[in-house]
Structure 1
């Protein structure tokens, strides 16, 4: 898939000739958090200095899902969001290799020769300090540096990135924070507002009858987000940005057996979003899900939620240039 000069290559898709010989950042990059961005920014710097393309090589599904399918791994950045963030950061392409047990069985040397040299024709590789590859994780950045010397490309290893408190930024920390509803802290580690992407679908239209029509989205089954009410911004497919308030959960007052839905009431908007793929960026967690004693009580609380979300969003400031591109 090519969008505005950015290529999203999946599975066995061949790399276009114009992208061969580039700088390649390698990793799973679930979260695209500040630690990941340290690796990605270094790759961009190398590519600019050398005047060659900048690419990301990643893997889908997440390797842990292949080796431990019995343990759910909530994704912070599913593949479409990861690809979008890669484009917004300024990369020329993301190469998404299918991760299977056969692929995992490649030796470290075969991974280098088959994937990096033959398929990508890498000019330079950038990895994090903890990157492992090849059968039984036999390859690491040191192994890669030694192997690269005889194969005509360079390697840069980026050390662990710590937050202002001295703790290493990790996807597991961010998952725990989002599951607890601590959106500001999670956003601080991400360096941008946590964002989901999905198609707007038809619902039961109860919100419309209450004066709160919502854009309804189904998130992945293992979505890493506490059920509750959030101050959000919704970006349409055409780029238009709108403040709003969103509920994520099972709607206990009106639909106790329903699947979890993200329902976003978009402020000052009239129109039809059905069928559009939109982004929703999360700024603050306002409260948990509650079961109210009837629709009047629910409506009163929804009005309070709306005003609180307006107030919260009125004073927000970008966390980074990436945050500007995503949610401002």
Structure 2
């Protein structure tokens, strides 16, 4: 897959000369609804014997248009993960647009001419709610006016489960609420985050449950407080584990949020390394225990329940 970064005004020589079927969207999470858009574009690419291309932006539109603080935006997928998912979906060309002032102020006709027609799009595919400017004049209903019959247009209707639209915002809410099983169903794959192993208080080791203490990029969304079933990749090996996201309330008040994962059959020092965490299921909420024995008893139950999950699902 060819990854092409474009910044307005771009150099025409940066554009691939291939005719394309172009899927457009921000695609945060690349969930089942997004996959439907890309699959529609892929089907057209196969029918016309042309390349499959996808276009996205380098940051969430709210940062540019709603002036949301960039550090406040927490994504479902990093750009690196998004690139990997696009490759897995069979995308030939992945255009990543820098969402700057020049692009944001562009008139709809200019955007269509420069980022659809000039990219040699023979087909443009997007979700029903896709916009390329002010939503009242630059939407999928008005796109034929700007396209001027230079390419075919396919609008993909919403994909829903339980009478609710599958959307990035819905998935973000489910992650915040710890509904990981629902999240994974909406994504169509296991939710993953990358974390850096850092030093903690070593309290887990004292309890007989040594943990990896993880630090995450501020832009990546982690689940809400609770105990979770996880699978963690260290190097090339995946390990079963149970994660605790919370404030260690048993050991005092007003503590900072931490992410700690007890890996099974693992006892290495890997401080500074980056590991991949797959979030698989929610076990329970964070509980304050009156003493250490009660906490250890619960941790043993959590480990048993985690192994039962793996035995039943993996």
What is the TM-score when the length of structure 1 is the normalising length?
Answer: 0.80
Q: CA deviation at 1:106?
A: 0.7
Which residue in the other structure is 1:184 paired with?
181
The 1-side partners of 2:207 and 2:93 are apart by 45
Q: CA deviation at 1:229?
A: 0.7
The 2-side partners of 1:260 and 1:277 are apart by 19
Q: CA deviation at 1:246?
A: 1.0
Matches within 5 A, 1:37-186: 37-66=35-64, 67-69=66-68, 72-118=72-118, 120-135=119-134, 138-151=137-150, 153-163=151-161, 165-186=162-183
What is the TM-score when the length of structure 2 is the normalising length?
Answer: 0.84
Change in CA separation of 1:279 and 1:48 when aligned onto 2, cut-off 3 Å: farther
Aligned equivalent of 2:258, options 256, 261, 277: 261
Q: CA deviation at 1:69?
A: 1.3
The 2-side partners of 1:202 and 1:224 are apart by 19
The 2-side partners of 1:136 and 1:162 are apart by 22
The 2-side partners of 1:50 and 1:270 are apart by 54
Q: CA deviation at 1:131?
A: 0.7
Of the structure 1 ranges 93-102 and 305-314, higher mean CA displacement relative to structure 2 is found in 93-102
Which residue in the other structure is 1:307 paired with?
304
Of the structure 1 ranges 276-285 and 35-44, higher mean CA displacement relative to structure 2 is found in 276-285
Secondary structure of residue in 2 paired with 1:141: coil
Which residue in the other structure is 1:3 paired with?
none
The 2-side partners of 1:127 and 1:154 are apart by 12
Identify unmatched segments of 5+ residues in structure 1. Answer: 1-5, 318-328
The 2-side partners of 1:258 and 1:86 are apart by 39
Change in CA separation of 1:275 and 1:137 when aligned onto 2, cut-off 3 Å: farther
Answer whether contact 2:108 2:146 (CA < 8 A) is retained: no
The 1-side partners of 2:179 and 2:109 are apart by 42
1:281 aligns with 2:264: no
The 2-side partners of 1:248 and 1:113 are apart by 48
Q: How many residues align?
A: 308
Answer whether contact 2:226 2:284 (CA < 8 A) is retained: yes
Identify unmatched segments of 5+ residues in structure 2. Answer: none
Matches within 5 A, 1:214-233: 214-221=211-218, 223=221, 225-233=223-231
Change in CA separation of 1:131 and 1:263 when aligned onto 2, cut-off 3 Å: same
The 2-side partners of 1:262 and 1:183 are apart by 16
Change in CA separation of 1:7 and 1:306 when aligned onto 2, cut-off 3 Å: farther
Q: CA deviation at 1:58?
A: 1.1
Answer whether contact 1:23 1:53 (CA < 8 A) is retained: yes
- RMSD of aligned Cα (Å): 3.0
The 1-side partners of 2:92 and 2:206 are apart by 46
**If each structure's strand is expressed as a fraction of its own residues, which one has the higher value?**
2
